[in-house]
Every structure is written in structure tokens, then in C-alpha cells.
């Protein structure tokens, strides 16, 4: 079972004999906020984490890596142009999906098929889905039809019907009475797993 970053902060603070109030003052945040962080009820910002790590003598990336859902967060090494070439400058930073997409509010689904390829969603990609029971017109959703298999499609409500549209000109949209559709989530991000 993975530990929350707050547990690691509390353990390091207590091991050094620093009070909650004292550490919060040194970091520049309110002690109640630090208490919430330690109890897993709030998140710590990057700047506060860097100050805290300096005070406690802990590598912030190591702390996030140990507490996160990955053994090591991904490293973003810099920028690359998709248009006009730019200087390749290495500027290492870590990237942990859990810092962007809260695992309590999101889940992953592996995409099967090519119905959403014109939206850049390819077969075998991992769709990052935000838990939701409702959706706005135009959003890409995970929907159940008659409680059956889940499908990833663009959502549109038209009167008492729901239209589920593919992003592939070779496929047709499907219209159902709204009572037959259950929204399970809304697309929030995508992890490309294969080069197309």
C-alpha cells in the first residue's frame, strides 16, 4: 500500500523534533493547512514542498516518488518544437500524473478501437476519465447503453434523446432515449501508448 506524502512529512518532522506550528511558520503556510496536508486532506504546493524539503533535508522528488502511485515520477527533460525548431535545452523536471489528475477523482480506461481517431484518441491509448454522472454537450464521455458495455464518444443532448458521436468519418452517430444512457465519466486527458 502506498503512503501519502503527508505521512512522510509527519514522520520526517517528528523525527527531527519540529512542531507542526514551527514547521508551518518556516514554510510560510498556516499550521492548519500543514495539518490537513499531513492528514491527506489537502495537497502541498511545489514551492512549499521545496521549502519543506530543504528544512527537513529530504529530496522533494524522492518524497513525491515514494508517496505517489509510481515508483519514480516521469522526468520532463525540456521542450521540443512541433513547428519551428527551437534550441534543445535540457531543463529537467519531474512529471507525476497524480499531481495533475487526482486518483480519487479520476480513473484510466484502455481505448479499444478507432472510433475516436479524429480527436487524436487511438487504439490502446489510456483515457484519463474524471468521475461524472452528467456531461455538457460536446464533451467526450464514457457512457453505458442499457447498462451494457462502456463506450467512449462525444456527448450531445437533443430533447429527450442523447446522441453519441464518434470522431471517425467512417462511423455513424448513435441516438438513444436519454433513459437508456448512463454517464460514467468525462475525458480529462490521454496517455499515448503506441505510435500510430
Q: pLDDT digits over 43-95, tens only?
A: 777 778 888 888 888 766 666 554 444 444 555 555 555 555 555 555 555 56
Task: Please identify which of the residues 51, 53, 153, 165 carries the catalytic annotation.
Answer: 153
The whole-number pLDDT of residue 51 equals 85
d(CA 176, CA 161): 6
Task: Please state which of the four CATH numbers 2.130.10.30, 3.40.50.720, 1.10.260.40, 3.40.50.1100 is assigned to the domain occupying 5-67.
Answer: 1.10.260.40
Residues of the chain with pLDDT under 50: 1-2, 66-72
Does residue 35 have an active-site annotation?
no
The whole-number pLDDT of residue 54 equals 85
Cα separation values, 27 from 31, 54, 108, 113, Å: 10, 10, 35, 49
Does residue 22 have an active-site annotation?
no
What phi and psi, each to the nearest 5 degrees, are found at residue 188? -115, -20
Q: Does domain 106-191 have CATH number 2.10.109.10?
A: yes
Establish whether domains 5-67 and 106-191 are of one fold. Answer: no
Neighbours of 155 (CB within 10 A): 22
Domain boundaries, the chain: 5-67, 106-191
The whole-number pLDDT of residue 60 equals 66
Close Cβ partners of 50 (under 8 Å, ≥ 6 residues apart): 60
Task: Please identify which of the residues 51, 53, 115, 165 carries the catalytic annotation.
Answer: 115
Amino acid at each position: 500500500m502506498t503512503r501519502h506524502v503527508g505521512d512522510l512529512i509527519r514522520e520526517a518532522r517528528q523525527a527531527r523534533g519540529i512542531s507542526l506550528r514551527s514547521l508551518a511558520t518556516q514554510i510560510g503556510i498556516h499550521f492548519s493547512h500543514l495539518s490537513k496536508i499531513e492528514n491527506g486532506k489537502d495537497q502541498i504546493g511545489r514551492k512549499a514542498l521545496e521549502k519543506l524539503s530543504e528544512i527537513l533535508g529530504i529530496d522533494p522528488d524522492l518524497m513525491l516518488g515514494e508517496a505517489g502511485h509510481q515508483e519514480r515520477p516521469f522526468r520532463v527533460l525540456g521542450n521540443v518544437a512541433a513547428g519551428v525548431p527551437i534550441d534543445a535545452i535540457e531543463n529537467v523536471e519531474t512529471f507525476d500524473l497524480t499531481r495533475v489528475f487526482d486518483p480519487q477523482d479520476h480513473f484510466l480506461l484502455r481505448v479499444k478501437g478507432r472510433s475516436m481517431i479524429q480527436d487524436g484518441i487511438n487504439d490502446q491509448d489510456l483515457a484519463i476519465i474524471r468521475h461524472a454522472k452528467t456531461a455538457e454537450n460536446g464533451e467526450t464521455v464514457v457512457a453505458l447503453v442499457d447498462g451494457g458495455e462502456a463506450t467512449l464518444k462525444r456527448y450531445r443532448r437533443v430533447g429527450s434523446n442523447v446522441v453519441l458521436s464518434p470522431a471517425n468519418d467512417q462511423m455513424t452517430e448513435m441516438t438513444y432515449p436519454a433513459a437508456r444512457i448512463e454517464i460514467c465519466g468525462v475525458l480529462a486527458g490521454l496517455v499515448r501508448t503506441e505510435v500510430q
